[in-house]
């Protein structure tokens, strides 16, 4: 059974391209979340190993759309980490992933056409791009702490999932 996001209450949450811009435990353009509360990134990482097996994902709330996007991004990040034998090398691979262009709906390279509506203005596109960039960087940073053990060696129970295709989408 697919794990759905618990962030269904969107009261007071702004949106861009139909995606709720949830608070994160980081300091960037996204609203700040309490450090002791679970945010959407924590949820995506904790549900990843269960959700990556599904070819279909029943969307029950707009938060599920963001969860789908993050699950795909975690899959991409794990593929980049697959050959990295130390935390230092993995960190460099993640930094390079963070430097890549972040496409928004309607642009070439966006992995889920139709999941989010096309932005109505350049301002909305840039707001969504900035949010996706921040949430991707935050996800990758937290992913390193589970993909590698405290001694800097790879955690095979996480990196084994790099071989999976989420929703039958081939990752770059």
Output the pLDDT for position 98.
86
Q: What is the domain count for the chain?
A: 1
Q: Is residue 152 situated within a structural domain?
A: yes
Host domain of residue 45: 15-168
**Digit-coded pLDDT (tens) for 105-164:** 999 989 888 889 999 999 999 999 999 999 999 999 999 999 999 999 999 999 888 877
Residue labelled with tokens 């390079």: 96
DSSP β-bridge partners for residue 16: 19
**Digit-coded pLDDT (tens) for 20-65:** 999 888 777 677 777 778 889 999 999 998 888 877 888 888 999 9
Is the per-residue pLDDT at 13 higher than 90? no
Output the pLDDT for position 1.
64
Q: Is residue 116 situated within a structural domain?
A: yes
Q: Is residue 1 situated within a structural domain?
A: no
57 close to 68: Cβ distance less than 8 angstroms = yes
**Planar angle of CA 142, 146, 150, nearest 5 degrees:** 110
Query: What number is the average pLDDT over the span 4-18?
Result: 83
Does pTM top 0.85 for this prediction? Answer: yes
Output the pLDDT for position 2.
73
Q: Is residue 111 situated within a structural domain?
A: yes
pLDDT class of 171 with cuts at 50, 70, 90: low
Q: Is residue 10 situated within a structural domain?
A: no
Q: Is residue 22 situated within a structural domain?
A: yes
Q: Is residue 4 situated within a structural domain?
A: no
Domain CATH code at residue 94: 1.10.1760.10
Q: Is residue 142 situated within a structural domain?
A: yes
């Amino acid at each position: 059974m697919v794990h759905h996001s618990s962030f269904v209450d969107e009261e007071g949450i702004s949106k861009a391209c139909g995606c709720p811009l949830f608070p994160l435990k980081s300091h960037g353009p996204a609203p700040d979340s309490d450090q002791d509360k679970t945010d959407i990134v924590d949820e995506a990482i904790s549900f990843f190993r269960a959700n990556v097996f599904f070819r279909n994902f029943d969307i029950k709330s707009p938060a599920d759309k963001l969860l789908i996007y993050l699950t795909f991004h975690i899959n991409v990040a794990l593929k980049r980490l697959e050959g990295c034998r130390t935390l230092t090398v993995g960190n460099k691979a993640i930094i390079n992933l963070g430097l890549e262009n972040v496409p928004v709906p309607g642009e070439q390279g966006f992995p889920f056409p139709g999941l989010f509506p096309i932005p109505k203005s350049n301002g909305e596109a840039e707001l969504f791009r900035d949010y996706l960039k921040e949430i991707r960087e935050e996800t990758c940073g937290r992913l390193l702490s589970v993909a590698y053990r405290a001694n800097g060696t790879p955690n095979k129970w996480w990196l084994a999932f790099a071989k999976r295709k989420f929703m039958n989408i081939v990752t770059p």
